[in-house]
Amino acid sequence: MVERHRGSVAEPAPAEGARRLGSYWPFVIPAIAVVGSVIVFPWAFTVWMSLHEWTVGGARRFIGLANYARLTTDERFIASIGHTLVYTFLAVVLPLILGTLAALVFNARLPFRGFLRGLFVMPMMATPVAIALVWTMMFHPQLGVLNYLLSLVGIGPQAWVFHPATVIPSLVLVETWQWTPLVMLIVLGGLAAIPAEPYESAALDGANALQRFRYITLPMIAPFLMVAVIIRTIDALKSFDIIYAITQGGPGTASETINLYLYSVAFAYYDVGYGSAIAVVFFALVIALSLLMLHLRQRTKWTDVKAA
């Protein structure tokens, strides 16, 4: 009886990790297939197209890295990089500053604070094309309300989006109006997470409001500010709809970002190969800036508060 019992338990039980891995695969494979077909394959195909001379309706010819070499001498492409970086910098910095100030204001105990917060975030709810149409009318040199408001304070009419020197700042004004509420909401979350004890200690030490903001509030909300910077940087880099609807890259090419130039090359000139090379370079630029932002985000601490 003892021998037979020993023989019955001689089979080793399967490892827990192996059994769990086997049970997961039926769920993992569909996700891998979806990611591969929706994300990996289009980008691999784009890289493959960028290695060819290929126009719509024409023959495809492999040319290696010639499209990328052409980018280095394309003055319009180089100018679009400058426009993109200037637009992105302004569209990140201005909403960051104004959104932080708005968060400090709405964090105070104001009457009708909830209603005012809801009113302030309404620009985020509008569609970009509708916003572009409204602001195009407001920017009109003769009939626009902006020049009328300037005339009330003795300032002459401005060209706004109709002059190369002011077109990018004018477009940034629209971007700032729409996305400052997003920064405000992110910073409000950071302000709500700050405990009251550091402020009480600073008040006992005689710190004024500016010192409390400099040494307590700002370090405590710094991680939230970095989140806002990452979101706004990626969003401003790929901005297309508002710029295209208002200026279409004009006047001339003064507001033509990489996105707009890519659209023109691929869908107006039908140069698919060269447009694919632009898309690959633009993707590399977005990845590089995203990695830089994430690196800075990792170095931002959540709990350290400098002593006043």
Are the CB atoms for 246 and 132 separated by under 8 Å?
A: yes
Question: Rounded to two decimals, what is the model's pTM?
Answer: 0.85
Q: Would you state the pLDDT for residue 185? A: 93
Closest to 98 measured CA to CA, from 165, 186, 160, 171: 186
Q: Would you state the pLDDT for residue 143? A: 87
Q: How do the domains of the chain map onto residue ranges?
A: 67-299
Architecture of domain 67-299 in this structure: Orthogonal Bundle (1.10)
Are the CB atoms for 178 and 124 separated by under 8 Å?
A: yes
Q: How far apart are CA 93 and CA 14, in angstroms?
A: 57
Q: Range with the lowest mean pLDDT among 57-71, 91-105, 287-301?
A: 287-301
Mind listing the pLDDT tens digit for each residue in 132-178? 999 999 999 888 999 999 999 999 899 999 999 999 999 999 999 99
